[in-house]
Amino acid sequence: MSSPAEVLPPLKTFFKPIFYNSLPPISKGYGTACLLTTTAFQLGLLNIFYIALLHEYVFKYFQVWRLFTNFFFLGKFSINFGIRLLMIARYGVQLEKGPFERRTADFLWMMIFGALSLLVLSAIPIFRTPFLGVSLVFMLLYVWSREFPNAQINIYGLVTLKAFYLPWAMLALDVIFGSPLIPDLLGIIAGHLYYFLTVLHPLATGKVFLKTPMWVYPYIVFITRLELQHNLSSPCMRFLGVSMALLLFIPLLMLGRIWTYTGEIPSKF
């Protein structure tokens, strides 16, 4: 939770297309998807009930998309939402441009492994939460803090501490401000599990158990081609691409309405 000046370049630079286009593909794609999901929710175009992780609907009604879509909702427009989005823009981007430079497949696998770990953890009753997006962002923060442990972080201009302690400071601040503890804690657990299996354990034993699977690499080729086409295409083609992507959500929402249990939607949604 750094001061705004440390999180991003000047605001006028942020809104320049060249800045957005310069972002690495995985962090940019995930951040954009989260922003679009919350925007659709705020405009009344999306009922988040149909994308929440509700295990009874997944196993009883085979609504398997919930295992995937719940990661794209970081909450409604608020200070907390803005902070989570900025965390992707800073910590995710620094990871992808730093330790994971030229290792996009490894970065994508880290995200996938984190998501799978969070899904397993969320099956434990005390860890159950309908949305795991905040936890996935917190995992990025944890891994970043381990890759840049000596970086100096200023929190609200009041306290300066090493990045190594940032996840715990963020967790403490969320508790003080009344945010749920579980999402942050899940992110720390998933992040430490990944860092242990890919860095700590190999350093101690010389054996690497968690390697990027070969099936991840074709997705990177596809993403790279998509990025190239996006950068070379005209504004009209970009608009067409965004429109087609949004249209893909329509069948998903229709299936959700058809397959969802006809009982009342829980009040928290």
More confident residue, 133 or 225: 133
Whole-angstrom Cα Rg for the chain:
19
- Domains of the chain (ranges; CATH) run 11-232 (1.20.1540.10)
DSSP state of 15: T
Instruction: Tell me what the mean pLDDT of segment 217-239 comes to.
Output: 63
- Tell me: pLDDT of 136 over 70: yes
> Which of 86-90, 149-153, 191-195, 224-228 comes out lowest in average pLDDT?
224-228
Query: Can you read off the two tokens belonging to residue 237?
Result: 């083609």
Nearest to 59 by CA among 2, 123, 115: 123
> Which of 35-49, 125-139, 194-208, 229-243 comes out lowest in average pLDDT?
229-243
Entry pTM: 0.80
Q: What tens digit of pLDDT does each residue of 192-209 get?
A: 999 999 999 899 888 888
Residue 79 CA to residue 67 CA, distance in Å, equals: 26
Query: Can you read off the two tokens belonging to residue 128?
Result: 């159950």
Residue 210 CA to residue 218 CA, distance in Å, equals: 19
Q: How confident is the model at residue 216 (pLDDT cuts 50, 70, 90)?
A: confident
Amino acid residing at 111? M
Q: How confident is the model at residue 1 (pLDDT cuts 50, 70, 90)?
A: very low
Helix (H) or strand (E) holding 155: strand 152-155
More confident residue, 177 or 65: 65
Residue 230 CA to residue 110 CA, distance in Å, equals: 25
- Tell me: pLDDT of 5 over 60: no
For residue 161, the SS3 value is: strand
- Tell me: pLDDT of 75 over 70: yes
Q: How confident is the model at residue 239 (pLDDT cuts 50, 70, 90)?
A: very low
Q: Average pLDDT over the chain, rounded to whole?
A: 81
Residue 152 CA to residue 169 CA, distance in Å, equals: 13
The fraction of the chain above a pLDDT of 70, given in percent, is 77
The single residue listed with the structure tokens 């608009």 is 239
Q: How confident is the model at residue 17 (pLDDT cuts 50, 70, 90)?
A: low
Q: How confident is the model at residue 93 (pLDDT cuts 50, 70, 90)?
A: very high
The sign of the dihedral angle between the CA atoms of 115, 120, 122, 126 is: negative
